[in-house]
Copies of this chain bind each other. A is one copy, B any other.
């Protein structure tokens, strides 16, 4: 018998637990030619702001051992273009859409949230309070539990869709941040965003990225991400979407066993666009092999 792969986060049903991680899959459009979007649990879009953002100077990306650094700086065409171009495109596919929202200030976040309120095709909002690559604001919201609870509350007051708060790993105690998001009324949390890193080109004695620092992602960081998901799962009751270095179904299953309800594939889509689809298929195989009828049974099932 085919196991049930459906998961439910804050009342939204997903075909399977595997999503794309924000910023690594464009708006879906760029990969639609390589990947069957309807085999994904959800497409999570690149962060979108109230107005177009130009992002950082280049070089913006650098490869590292088993991972990469990025300092895109949240370049995006702004919410108007997003709603008139990207959303209609995604509406053409039978898949859930989660919109990742960024901003420098509270007002900027709220503007985007308001603008999306009536977009029926948007299933959830993911609030990026954790981007290490933009100078003002943003990450402070994600590193101070009080600020985080506050902005979560304000967004929840206005949002028509369930709200996921995306947490940064660049904190001393991730469970404190998870609790703050929950206290602020978040419907779910997602983690981890990238870990701040740096690369230096020793031959030229220069920073590899124009921004000096960038966010580290990829298989290299997976153990940190799994640990944080486990810590958060023990700290809050709201569902968790786990990410950080997922390349295979086994990787995704680590996150789910640690307590994630959903998972997202990030930079590994650059390595192989079909990673997310293969991860979903591999989870299903695992359930069959282990005689588990419902994927929900493995959430948090690691034995203590």
Query: Given contacts A65-B220, A205-B257, A250-B202, is CB(A196)–CB(B301) below 8 Å?
Result: no
Quick check: is A61 within 8 A (CB to CB) of the other chain? no
Residue among A172, A198, A226, A257 with max Cβ neighbours from chain B (10 Å):
A198
Quick check: is A179 within 8 A (CB to CB) of the other chain? no
B227 & A196 in contact (Cβ 8 Å cutoff): yes
A302 & B206 in contact (Cβ 8 Å cutoff): yes
A213 & B227 in contact (Cβ 8 Å cutoff): yes
Query: Given contacts A172-B172, A303-B206, is CB(A200)–CB(B254) below 8 Å?
Result: yes
Q: Mark A212-234, 1 if CB is under 8 A from B, else 0.
A: 11001001111110110010000
Choose from B143, B195, B198, B302 the contact partner of A200 (Cβ within 8 Å): B302
- In the assembled complex, the Cα of A221 lies from the Cα of B143 at a distance in Å of 21
Quick check: is A286 within 8 A (CB to CB) of the other chain? yes
Q: Which residues of B contact A257 (CB under 8 A)?
A: 200, 202, 205
Least CB distance, A291 to chain B, in whole angstroms: 13
A303 & B219 in contact (Cβ 8 Å cutoff): no
Least CB distance, A215 to chain B, in whole angstroms: 10
Quick check: is A155 within 8 A (CB to CB) of the other chain? no
- In the assembled complex, the Cα of A202 lies from the Cα of B285 at a distance in Å of 13
Q: Mark A155-171, 1 if CB is under 8 A from B, else 0.
A: 00000000000000011
B207 & A216 in contact (Cβ 8 Å cutoff): no
Quick check: is A110 within 8 A (CB to CB) of the other chain? no
Least CB distance, A22 to chain B, in whole angstroms: 20
Give the nearest-CB partner of A68 in chain B: B223
- In the assembled complex, the Cα of A206 lies from the Cα of B298 at a distance in Å of 12
- In the assembled complex, the Cα of A143 lies from the Cα of B172 at a distance in Å of 7
- In the assembled complex, the Cα of A25 lies from the Cα of B170 at a distance in Å of 29
A66 & B196 in contact (Cβ 8 Å cutoff): no
Q: Which residues of B contact A171 (CB under 8 A)?
A: 172
Known contacts A197-B226, A207-B303; 17 additional CB pairs below 8 A are A64-B223, A65-B220, A65-B222, A66-B67, A66-B220, A196-B224, A198-B226, A199-B223, A200-B226, A200-B302, A202-B250, A202-B254, A205-B257, A212-B230, A216-B223, A220-B220, A220-B221
